[in-house]
Amino acid sequence: MTEIDVTERKRAEELLKKNGLERFCYLIPRFYDFAAYLLEENKKHNLTALREIGDVWVRHFADSLLFADMFEGEHKTLIDVGCGGGFPSIPLAIACKNLKVTAMDSTKKKTDFVVSAAQRIKLDNYSALCARAEEAGKNKVYRERYDIATARAVAALPALAEYCLPLVRVGGAFLSYKGKDAEIECAAAEPIIANLGGKIEKIEKRILTDENGEEMERALIVIRKVRNTPPVFPRKNSAILKSK
C-alpha cells in the first residue's frame, strides 16, 4: 500500500469537504493508494489524460462521488459501461459497500488494470468484463441483469442509452454522468430512450468545486427502465453512432 503524507491527506480532506463529501474522508488512504497506482501505470498505458494527483482528486474522485448518495442503500448490482481507468466504478465500490460492481470495457488493458487495482486495494465487491457493450447487451448472461448501469464516457446520450439500457433490468436505472448541457442531451435522446424501454425520470444537478474554488456544473441523468428492451436492440455499433 502506498502511504499518504500529512500534507496530501489534508489537501484531499479539504477538497472532499468543499464538495460535501466529508463523510468519505476516512477512505482517503484507499483512494490515494489507487490514485498512486493509476498514475504509475499511466506512464506505461494510456489510462487517463490527467497526470497530477490534484487533478485526480477533483476530476476523478470528487466527480465520481458527487452523486454517491443516489447509489447508497439497498444491495444492488451495478455495471459501469466504458470503465476506462476505473471511474466512477472504483470510487463507488470503495464508498458504497452495498454495491456489487462490474466494470466493463472493450479494451483489455483497461479491464486488466482495474482488476489489478481492485486486488491491490482489496476490493471484494468488484469485478471486470472485457466486452463491447453492444455485444454484451445481446448476450443473455448480461442482458437485463443489472440494477444499475452507469456511464461517464464522453459520448452522446442517445448512443450511451443504447449501450446501457439493454443491460438494465426492468425497474432498474441507467445513470449517466453529464455536464451543463444535460437538458439538451435529454431532449435529443428521448425518442431512442423510449424505444429502448426507458423513461427519463429526473436530472440531478450538483456543483463540483476544485482546489481554487472554480465551479463546474455536473448532472446525473436518471433513466428508469420501465419495460423490456425490444430484441432488435442494441444494434450494431455503426448504427448506434448514427443515433440522433
Domain ranges of the chain: 67-240
pLDDT band at 244 (very low <50, low <70, confident <90, very high): low
Q: Give me the CATH topology for the region 67-240.
A: Rossmann fold (3.40.50)
pLDDT band at 2 (very low <50, low <70, confident <90, very high): confident
Give the CA distances from residue 237 to residues 95, 234, 241, in Å, rounded to whole numbers and listed in that order: 33, 8, 6
Task: Retrieve residue 180's grid coordinates.
Answer: 451543463
- The pTM of the full predicted model, rounded to 2 decimals, is 0.96
Residue percentage of the chain with pLDDT more than 90? 87
Report the pLDDT averaged over residues 41-48.
80
127, amino acid identity: S
> What is the predicted pLDDT for the residue at 50?
66
Q: Where are the beta strands (DSSP E) in the chain?
A: 76-81, 99-105, 126-130, 146-151, 168-178, 198-209, 215-225
Q: What are phi and psi of 111, to 5 degrees?
A: -70, -35
Residue percentage of the chain with pLDDT more than 70? 98
> What is the predicted pLDDT for the residue at 44?
83
